[in-house]
Amino acid sequence: MEAPSTYILVLIGIGLLIALVAWLPLALRRLPLSLPIVCIGIGFGLFLLPQIGFRPLPVQNPHVTERFTEMIVIIALMGAGLKIDRLFGWRRWAVTWRLLAITMPLSILAITALGVWALALPLPVALLLGASLAPTDPVLAADVQVGPPKTGEEDEVRFGLTSEAGLNDGAAFPFVHLAILLAASAASGEPWLAEWLSYRVAWEILGGIAGGWLIGRAFGWLTFHVRADSKLAKTGDGLIALSATLVSYGLTEIFHVYGFLAVFVTALTFRHAHREHDFHKEMHAIIEQVERLAMMLLLVLFGGAIASGLLASVTWTDAALAVAILLVVRPVTGWIALIGYPAARREKLTLAFFGIRGVGTLYYLAYGINHMTVPDAERLWGVVGLVVLLSILLHGLTVTPIMRALDRDQGRDPDAASAPPGLKGPAQG
């Protein structure tokens, strides 16, 4: 019998991957495992096969890595914004502002200092490492985020981690650009501070917020407030959320403002246009399915990168740094941000602990490497890859018992039909 072609094998693999997207969350409901861990294991085993000639190493495919991770992040940001039930407000979002204004800058500072001291990195490269590793991830944090729209699955911990992941990807970008500007200044001697403060901070942040709000208002009006016989909500087609994601990101990037920030603001504004409409559930369901499929594909490739030697350059010093980032830097800076915040001790510890690193980190590093000279980029990819891997393992193995215990403390039954998403797996609503 003639051997099947690569095309046929790819079709079978995609079909099996889609089946896993649907079935695995159910199988993992009570196990101390997460979907990302299983995907990485599948990718690792698959790319050990000698028949697989392609090696998905990001250092060899930096531009593909940047674009693929970018697409996944913006889809996840739309999903995160659509499912937040809490009305926007300075007091209502107090936990978010603490994590953004205190935890993230302190994390960047600490990781940058460790990069210079422990890894002997030049300051711009160390800052790129810090800016890449400080923000939490909206893609891999599904198990600690709020539930779908209008389900009431929004305690303080889940809200804080969801809103932080939604906003800090955009908030970290100025520091990535600062690293790029410092690298360019070191080579040319050109001043950098005025451009960074005026353009990369003020214009791109404010422009991202304004652009996201305008596009969210436009989509909200078209969907819910035009004539009854032509409302987009009447179609019941949740693909409009994917449209809003791409339009928001594309239009704001044309004007050189932060598209990540714009997409999340678009999602929040879109949701606010008619908060109680059931169409939000349809939109979120579509976004979630697309996000999970893309996430699983990326993690299979990430497992393949590990099998192909992604971590080959990692030293014991690098490994110690990775452990310190996850077990010292994030928990300590998270706890500092929550000093004086009116929440139970277990809630604060959970918020401080679950600083999940993932796809956003890979995107920022790829973006930085594609826009500045990074000596020994292979080692930097190894360090970041190890942090992401350890984060997926550490947080994936602990999320189920920790979140179940938290729900019991708060008087919720973790086995109830309305249990939050971290307990049921993202496939259930």
User: Which pLDDT does position 38 carry in this prediction?
Assistant: 83
* Residue 105 to residue 114: CA distance in whole angstroms: 14
Poorest-pLDDT segment among 250-254, 283-287, 304-308, 396-400:
396-400
Residues 6+ apart with CB under 8 A from 173: 131, 200, 204, 258, 260, 261, 364
Region 60-424: CATH code? 1.20.1530.20
Assess whether pLDDT exceeds 80 at residue 14. no
Residues 6+ apart with CB under 8 A from 339: none
Residues 6+ apart with CB under 8 A from 19: none
Per the CB < 8 A criterion, the answer to whether 77 and 270 are in contact is no
Which residue's structure tokens are 């000279």? 373
Helix (H, G, I), strand (E, B) or coil at 53: coil
pTM given for the model: 0.90
- For the packed helices 6-27 and 35-46, what is the interaxial angle rounded to 10 degrees? 150
Grade residue 426 by pLDDT with cuts at 50, 70 and 90. Answer: very low
DSSP string, 205-226: HHHHHHHHHHHHHHHHHHHHTS
pLDDT 10s digits, 193-229 = 999 999 999 999 999 999 999 999 999 888 887 665 5
For residue 350, give Cα distances in angstroms to 49, 137, 355, 411, 421.
Answer: 39, 16, 9, 17, 16
Assess whether pLDDT exceeds 70 at residue 66. yes
pLDDT 10s digits, 357-397 = 889 999 999 999 999 999 889 999 999 999 999 999 998 88
DSSP state for residue 411 in the 8-state scheme:
T
Grade residue 249 by pLDDT with cuts at 50, 70 and 90. Answer: very high
The CA-based dihedral angle spanning residues 260, 266, 272, 278, taken in that order and rounded to the nearest 10 degrees = -90
Give me the percent of the chain exceeding a pLDDT of 90.
Answer: 53
Poorest-pLDDT segment among 32-46, 181-195, 281-295, 320-334:
32-46
User: Which pLDDT does position 233 carry in this prediction?
Assistant: 56
